[in-house]
Amino acid sequence: MTNSDHIRDEELELYALGGMPELEAEALKAHVAVCGECAMKLAESRGSAALLSFAVKQEHPAGTIKAELLSRIHANRAHEEDYAWPVPAPERPETGGLRVGKSARNKTSPWWNWIVVPAALLLALVSLALSYQNHKVSQALEKQRQAAQALLQEREKTEKLVGILAAADTVTVRLAPAAEAAGSGVVRYNARLGMLVYSALLPEVPAGKSYQMWLVPTVGSPINAGLLEKDARASTSVWLAQVPANTDAKAFAITVEPTGGSSQPTGPKVLIGAT
Amino acid sequence: MPEILRGRWFGRHALPHIRSSSKRRIITKEQSRNSDEVNTAGTSSSATSDWSLLKRIARKEEEALSALYDRYSGLVFSTAKRVLQQTGEAEEVLQDVFYQLWRTADRFDPAKGSLAGWLLVAARNRAISKLRRKTHQSGELDEDGVHLAVPLESYAAQNLLLEKVRAVMASLPDGQREALEYAYFEGMSHSEIAEKTGQPLGTIKTRLRSAMEMLKKVLR
C-alpha cells in the first residue's frame, strides 16, 4: 500500500470513495492519523469524491425542514439556557466534522449527571450499610428472642417444680442402687398433677447409652418419664417429667438404654425405689 | 449507457435555483446594513464566505445558519436522497447535518478543508449509515477533513461546477460510472461490486481509480 513511507494516491482515492476492505481501511486510517501529508491528500481525495454530489438529480427539500431545524435549535437553546452548563449530549451519534479533534468527540454529559451519579452511588452505599445493619439487628433480635424463650421455659419449669414440691399430696421416693450399680437419687411425684421431679447422682453414662427414668405403675407396663440428659441451662441436674395424671405408681427406676431412649426398659436397672 | 444510470446521473436536472437566477436580487453592502448576510429568500451574496457564516454560526447567529442552509441544503438533500431513495429519510439526514453544524461550528478548522465539502461528505456518510442499518452492515465512515478547492458560495459557481462534473461523468465509460455509483452512493464494497457486475476485483479497482482521475480534472 505504501510508497516511500506514504500511501499511494490511488489507495487514498479508493478509500475516499468507500468500499475498501475493512483491514486495508484500518491500516490506511492508522497511517493517515500520524501522517500529515497523507491526511492532506486524503482530504483532497474526499473533495474529489464529494464532486459526485453534483452529478445527482438536484432536488430541494420541503420548506418545512428548515423550520423544523430552527425549531430544534430553539428547543436546544431553551434547554441550554435552563441548564446553562455544560452542553447537553447530542441526540444522535455524531461521526465528526472537519477534524474536530478529540475534545469534540468526547460526549458531554448532562449537568445533572454530576449530581445524580454521585447521589446514586451514595444512595447505594447507604442502602448497603443499612442492609448490613438490618441484618445484624435481626440476628441480635433473634438471639434475644431465643434467650427470652429459654428464660420463659426455665420459669415455667421452676414454677412447676415449686408447685410439685409445695403440694401436700406429693410423695418422695428415694432411689437406691440396683445390684452391682452405684449412685443415688430422689423422686418427688404428684399423681394428681401427673408430674414428677427427680435428681440423681450416677456414674458417667457409657458411650452410646442414655439413662432413662421409668414410672412403674401398679397396673400395666412401665411409663417413660424422660431421659437424664444434662441441661446446660439448669444450675442443678433436676429433671421434670409429665406422665398421665392419676397414675398410681408402685416404683420408679432408672435403666441404661440406647442413646435417645426406649419405649420400654431394655437395659439393666441402675437405681430403683418403691413408693 | 444503462437507462438507470442516465436517470440518476444525467437527468438534466439543473440546480433549481439557477433557473431563476435572473429574477433574484443580490444584496450588496450598499443596499443592506447587514452587508454580509444572505438573502434567505434563496439568493446568496457572493461576498459572504462560508467561513464568515461559520464564524457567526459559532456565535449562535441563526441568520447565518439559515443563509448557509439556503446555500447548500439542495446539494445536501439531493446527495442523501440519491443514497436513500426516500424523501423522509433524506430530510432527516439534511436536518442532522445542519444541526451538527450548528452545534459544532466552533470546532471546525478551515485549515483542514472546506465547509461545503464536509457538508456533502457528511450527508453521504449519514445516508450510507442509515442504509447500512437497514441491512445490518457495519463499518465506520470517516469525514475528518474534506478539501474541495473550488468556490461554491454562489449559485453561479455551483452551477458551473455542476456542468463540469456532468461533462466529466458523460465522458466516463459505463463501467467506470457504474462502479463509482455503487461505491459512493450505495456503499458497496469492492468485492460486492465485482460480484454484482461480474467483473474481476482488480478491474473494479482500476475502473474506480480511472474514474477518480477524471473527476480530479474538474478541480484543476
Chain A residues with beta carbon closer than 8 angstroms to that of B10: 55
pLDDT for residue A113: 75
Q: Cell triple for residue A148?
A: 427470652
- Residue B48 in contact with partner chain A when CB distance is under 8 A: no
Structural domain spans, chain A: 2-54, 63-105, 121-166, 171-274
Is B117–A62 a contact, with Cβ atoms under 8 angstroms apart?
no
Contact list in A for residue B90 (CB cut-off 8 A) is 61
Looking at residue A150, its pLDDT comes to: 86
- Min Cα distance B31 → chain A (Å) is 26
φ, ψ (nearest 5 deg) of residue A210: -135, 150
B145 → closest Cβ in A43, A48, A103: A43
Q: Do A55 and B205 touch (CB under 8 A)?
A: no
For the whole model, what pTM was predicted?
Answer: 0.54
Q: How far apart are CA B38 and CA B28, in angstroms?
A: 10
Q: Tell whether the model's pLDDT for residue A160 goes beyond 60.
A: yes
pLDDT at A5: 77
Query: Is A136 an interface residue toward B (CB < 8 Å)?
Result: no
Counting residues of chain A whose pLDDT is more than 70, the rounded percentage is 84
Determine whether the interchain pair A98/B149 forms a contact, defined as Cβ–Cβ distance below 8 Å: no
Q: How confident is the model at residue B141 (pLDDT cuts 50, 70, 90)?
A: low
Contact call for residues A176 and A273 (beta carbons, < 8 A): yes
Q: Calculate how close chain B gets to A36, using CA atoms only, in Å.
A: 10
The arithmetic mean of pLDDT across residues B73-82, rounded, is 96
* Residues of chain B contacting A98 with CB distance shorter than 8 Å: 108-109, 112-113, 115, 118, 143-146
CB contact under 8 A, A90 and B60: no
- Count how many pairs of residues, chain A against chain B, have C-beta atoms within 8 Å: 224
Q: How many CA atoms lie within 13 A of B140 on its CB side?
A: 13
Mean pLDDT over residues A11-33, rounded?
A: 86
| Residues pairing with A187 in the sheet | A173, A198
Name all domains of chain B by residue range, CATH numbers in brackets. Answer: 14-171 (1.10.1740.10), 172-220 (1.10.10.10)
The minimal CB distance from A59 to the residues B65, B81, B215 is found for: B81
CB contact under 8 A, A98 and B112: yes
- Separation CA B49–CA B47 (nearest Å): 6
Band (A97; pLDDT cuts 50, 70, 90): very low
Which among A28-37, A98-107, B31-40, B196-205 has the top mean pLDDT?
Answer: B196-205
Backbone angles phi, psi at A253, to 5 degrees: -145, 150
Cell readout for B176 is: 467506470
Judged against a pLDDT cut of 50, whether residue B129 lies above it is answered with yes
What per-residue confidence (pLDDT) applies to A82? Answer: 60
Between A2-6, B12-16, B62-66, B132-136, the lowest mean confidence (pLDDT) is in B12-16
Which residues from A are below 8 Å from B149, CB to CB?
44, 47
Averaged pLDDT, A103-118 = 64
Domain A171-274 is found in CATH 2.60.40? yes
The residue of chain B nearest to residue A101, with distances taken between CA atoms, is B107
Chain Cα centroid distance, residue A114:
31
Q: Which residue has the higher pLDDT, A140 or A80?
A: A140
Q: Would an 8 Å CB–CB cutoff place B5 in contact with chain A?
A: no
pLDDT per residue as tens digits for the range B179-208? 999 999 999 999 999 999 999 999 999 999
CA distance A29 to chain B (A): 9
Residues in chain A within 8 Å Cβ distance of B96: 92
Of A163-172, A221-230, B173-182, the range with the highest mean pLDDT is B173-182
For the range A35-43, what are the long-range contacts, defined as Cβ-Cβ under 8 Å and sequence gap of 24 or more?
A: A35/A5, A35/A6, A35/A7, A37/A6, A38/A6, A38/A7, A38/A12, A39/B145, A40/B145, A40/B147, A41/A7, A41/A9, A41/A12, A42/A12, A42/A15, A42/A16, A42/B145, A43/B112, A43/B113, A43/B145, A43/B146, A43/B147
| B183 has a chain A CB within 8 A of its CB | yes
pLDDT band with cut points at 50, 70 and 90 for residue A222? very high
ipTM computed for the complex: 0.77
- B185 CB neighbours in chain A (<8 A) are 52, 56
* Stronger pLDDT, B219 or A251, i.e. the higher one: A251
Supply the pLDDT for residue B123: 95
Measuring CA to CA, which residue among A115, A111, A113 is closest to residue A88? A111
pLDDT for A162 beyond 90: no
Q: What is the pLDDT of residue B140?
A: 57
| Tens-digit pLDDT profile for residues A71-96 | 999 887 777 666 554 444 444 444 44
The verdict on a CB contact (< 8 Å) between A61 and B161 is: no
Residues of chain A contacting residue B140, judged by C-beta atoms under 8 Å apart: 95
Q: How far apart are CA A92 and CA B192, in angstroms?
A: 29
pLDDT for the residue B138: 59
Residue A231: predicted pLDDT: 56
Query: What pLDDT does residue B135 have?
Result: 65
Q: How confident is the model at residue B12 (pLDDT cuts 50, 70, 90)?
A: very low
Rounded to whole angstroms, the Cα distance separating B98 from A175 reads 108
Question: Taking residues A8-26, what's their average pLDDT?
Answer: 87
Q: Is the pLDDT of residue A144 over 60?
A: yes
Residues contacting residue A171 through CB under 8 Å, at least 6 positions apart? A188, A189, A190, A191, A275
In 3D space, the residue among A97, A172, A88 whose CA is nearest the CA of residue B100 turns out to be A97
